[in-house]
Structures are given as C-alpha cells and as structure tokens.
Amino acid sequence: MSLLTYEGNKLFIDGKEFYLASGSMHYFRYQPGGWRHRLKLMKAFGLTAVQTYVPWNLHEPEKGQYNFSGRLDLKAFLQMCQEEGLYVMLRPAPYICSECDLGGLPYWLLEKDVCLRTMDEPYIRHYTEYFKRLCQEFVPMLSTNGGPIIAVALENEYGSFAMDLEYIRYCEKIHRENGIDVPLYTAGGDCMYMQVYGGFPEIWSAMDVGGNIPGAIQNMRKFQQGFPDYVAEYWGGRAQQWGGYFLRKPPEEVAETYRQALEAGAYVNFYMFCGGTNYGFFSGSMIGTFRADPPGSKPRYVPYGTSYDVDAPVDEMGRPTKKYFLCREVLAKYRGMDVKDLPPVPADMPVQIPGEIVWQESRRLFAPETLDYLTEKKVKAGNVRPMESLNQDYGWILYSTTLLRTDPEEQFMLLIDGLHDRADIYMDGVYKGTYYRDRAYEPIPFKITKETMRLDILVENMGRICFGYQLEQDYKGILNPVRIKRGVAFVTNWEIRSLPMRDPVLNQLMQNTPADCAPGVGPRFFTGSFKGTPGQDAVIDYRVDGKSNLQKGFIRVNGFNLGRYWCIGPQDTLYIPGDIMKEENTIEVFELYSDGQWPTPQFCPEVKLDSLKENVECIMDDNIFYA
C-alpha cells in the first residue's frame, strides 16, 4: 500500500519525498503495441508519472454496452505503466474535452430535457451507473491497493462550463463511495472565476495553462493555499483543425517556459507529452476562432483533425522531437541530474513502405443494395430530424423527398437552416453543391422541369463540440425545417436514413452487396489489397503532393478505421499503427466526391501535418465550400 500526501508544496509517498514530473498519454489514441515504447520515452525523459483521460463515449458507446478491450483496456495500460516504473494521475471523466467528440461524453446523453454535467436527474443517473462500472476497472489499480494510481481528478475544467457546485460535491461523493481513497484534485483555468466554479479551496486545485506559469501560480494562490502547485496541463502545443495552419510552438520557447515553471516551484504535466491519433470519428470541434486566424476573425465552427500530434515532445509516430530533448535537459538540470544518468532514449520504431495497392472493387453509396445494407435505421417523417433521434452516433444521415412540378420555368432556391455540419445536395441523383455549417453561401438554384424530382441531402457529422456551453445542444444533421425559397412553406414528407458507417457493418459490405464498378461520380466505396510486414507502422499519403484524387472521406485498413481525411490540410497523411498490419492487407476508402477512377494514395515514410501556411477560408469551386 502506498499513499500520496502533501505538506506545503512538497509531495510524499509513504513518507518519502516524491517529485511529480508527468506527461499526458492517452491509451485510447494508440494501439496497445505502441504503449510500451511511448512509456519508455517518458521514463527516459525523467518523468515519474503518466496522466491520462478516460473517454466515456468510447467505453460506453451505447447505453449499458461497455468496452474495455484492445486499445480501451484501461487496466492493461495501468499495469504497463506500473511495469515501467511510472505512477499515474488519472482523470476518469465524465467530461474530458481533449478535442474529441462531445468532450468524451456519449452522444446518447443528448436526450430531451437532459442537462449535461449538472445535478439534472437523468444525467446523474447515467453518470452514476457508468462511473460505478468504470471503477471496477481502475479502483484495484489505486496505489492504496498496490497499483500505480496516486491521485484521481474530479470532473474537468468545470469552471469553463457551468456553476453547479452541488454537482462537483456529488462527483466527490461517488468517488469516495466507490472506494477511491487516494487524493482527489480538480483541473481548470487559473483565473478566480474558473477556480471558484471549478472546485473548492479544500480540494487540491491544479491549473491548465499555456504560458506564464509563475503568474498562473500567483493567481491560483488567491483561491487556494496549502497545496502543491500543479500544472495539470502545460500546453506546449495544441490540436490541429481542418483547414487551419498548424501553428507550432518553437521548442526553445517551450523549454524556457518549462524552466520558469520548475523554478517557480510548480510540478508540471505536459499536455500532451505523446501525440496520438483520433481514430475513426473520435475527433470533435469547437465554436470560436483558431490560434492562427488573422485578427478580427469571426467565431465559427472549427472541426479538429484526425491527427492528434499536437506538436508534442513525442510525435504521432512515437518519435522524440527537438522539444523532447531540450525539455529533458531542463528537467535534469533542475533536479541536479545529468541526462547521461537517465535511462537511454529508445530507438525509433521502424516504419515500413508496404507494397503497391491493388484496387479490386467499388460500390456507389447510392446503389440500392449498398444503401439498403448500410442503412441502420429508416424512418418516414413529416419534418427533418437529427441523428440522435435515430440513435445514431457518427457518420452520415440521408434526407430524401420528392418535389412536384409546378411552373417549370420558376426557379427555386434551396435553404437549409440549422445545418450540423456539412450537406451534399443531389437532384435526381446529380450532385449540385455543398452547404457547410455557419459559412456564407449562395443558395443552390434549381427548376422542377419534370413531373417529380427527387431531392437527397447527405449530411455529415464532422465532430460534436467539445468545449463550452455549446456542447449542451450540438445535435447532428438538420435541426430546422428545410425550405425552398418560395413564401413561408417548408419541405415535408422525408425519408430519413441513418448511415453511421459502423465497422461491423462495413466489414461485411463486400460479402453482402454486389460490386458496382460502373463509371460515375459521387460517394463511393473502394476496396483493395496490399502486402506488408506485420507489426510495423506505416503511413498513407492521400494527397501525394496535391495529385491524388481523394478529397474527403475516411480510410480503413484490415477493418480498422484510421480516421477522416480531407484534402484541405494541414494533414496530408493517416498514420497506420503496426498492430493492425498483416502480410496480406485490405484497404477500404470511402470517398464523397469520387470521379469514378481508382484512388491514387501512396505510402510514405512519415506523417505530413504542415501543408498549409495560413488558414483556409476559401471556395473550392462555385458550390463546394472548402472550409
């Protein structure tokens, strides 16, 4: 049994002084085969602890359905941390932000009359049930039970969301009732408002900051004294947005800020220490301006990228960067050590260039057999409905209706309000253009020249908001009535199809639907194969210096969804973890804007995340809004 205690600004474990130097590594952003290498890099840096979030939305994707296997095996990750001699600062939800969908909350919480992260009864009931189940995984791994977890966080950055302190007290209560007997802490901004509404003076409060840590410490001490100064998140880099310049922090600047923080007496946690990947549809979004936006830019919907490299000391591929080595020297010098006395830095993991992709089959999304097979739920409705009403988490939703001819010479305009997030418009199966959430656009004009015309609106969920009050109501699909610019009437009589693109369904698509290689543009699945080396990482370049014909979609290898791609950058690649590689591999591409030709991606030796020099807010052509 071990117990973390503190006296003034000093930490102790079992009465012996303990120095807390930590870094964030999220087990769910890697395959298990990549865990140990990154933990060894943390140990070689001089860290003594790992900090990790726990994503509710991955562990309970549907109400009452739990997943703690594979890359979600929290217990196995904690055991590996202990094997590598690293303690753990655990941040177990319910909300984690982390630039992921709905901040880590499961989509199914977006029920009618449920107020997230408050004492609202339905929310509390769901949270309590989940947390009790989650504790079965990590409570045996508390230091008081012989495990590596020395402290556990209450909620996360609550002062940036709401002000229900009774709820924070409730979080404390169920932590203790479920056997958590190690110290608790909260984490949030260093200003008084965020601290007052984020925790209590008698509970250890930590800071999440990007710079001027000595100033943040002074601000914190106005709220709380008698506890160690802990920076739970030092942002030495930040997440990438689609269409946004990857604004990296110079390594020298990060190292100097780190030095100042240590000399000010703070225990510092790098957020992130190890970059990772938002596999599948895990990435979220925000409403606001991005760091690289020019002055005066208006707040807007900003979706985050698939890569979660975040300019961390250890990059997405598990390689130490210049930032790693400079900050390693800072920590060693502060602690009176020589870097030569630290464990050796592990060699980089090998990266392979697999064999050429051989494409074999393709299927149009709108082919009747394909569409029917992928439709998880189909409803008839008078008005449009959001994804959540169909119990849908991610992917696409298709709205279809029939318009009748009136005056064949009359021109109409299609108007979509409350779009979340991106809609491709088809008239009688012909692509007419794209609308994108909160971007200015010219409504698509059309005439109804035939007796009837089919209108299809294919809407993509590009990631739920992960921070701030807006996450409370970020439903996906079309939220308000669709209109054609003609008086006050709205379009009715919809057929609505749920297309979540879940892996189990996609895994069987080839076996259960006929190939459809007829020429034609539009959304299409491509299936191919390639040879590789089992266990070795790889990288696929879907832009190939701007010459690839892939524009937007996702890629799967051996049934594993690598994540979204989008040709607007700044990332041009998807990282393939070695765990999923085999000698004979399958690859599947879902491309929204296929030109009917086979895809032309290529394998390359490293990730490419810096294709933009400024933020993109432009029009790709007359109708496709690029960002």
**Which residues are catalytic, by number?**
157, 233
Query: Which H or E run contains 565?
Result: strand 560-566
One-letter amino acid for residue 377 of the chain: K
Cα 105 to Cα 94, 173, 387, 451: the distances in Å are: 7, 20, 16, 47
Q: Report the distance separating Cα 435 and Cα 450, nearest Å.
A: 25
| Of residues 465, 407, 414, 468, the one with CA closest to residue 442 | 414
Q: Report the distance separating Cα 303 and Cα 316, nearest Å.
A: 19
> Are the C-beta atoms of 19 and 58 separated by less than 8 Å?
no
Helix (H, G, I), strand (E, B) or coil at 160: helix
Strand partners, 397: 459, 498
- Per the document, the length of the chain is 627
Read off the tokens for 539.
């990288």
| Of residues 598, 569, 570, the one with CA closest to residue 356 | 598
- The residue assigned the tokens 């739990």 is 66
> Are the C-beta atoms of 367 and 516 separated by less than 8 Å?
yes
Query: φ, ψ for residue 506 (rounded to 5)?
Result: -65, -30
Query: Which H or E run contains 436?
Result: strand 430-436
Q: Report the distance separating Cα 143 and Cα 3, nearest Å.
A: 6
| Of residues 401, 409, 372, 407, the one with CA closest to residue 385 | 401
Segments of 72-180 assigned E as strands: 87-91, 149-153
Helix (H, G, I), strand (E, B) or coil at 549: coil
Q: Report the distance separating Cα 378 and Cα 371, nearest Å.
A: 11
One-letter amino acid for residue 575 of the chain: Y
Read off the tokens for 71.
């890359």
Q: Determine the number of helices (DSSP H) and then strands (DSSP E) in the chain.
A: 12, 34
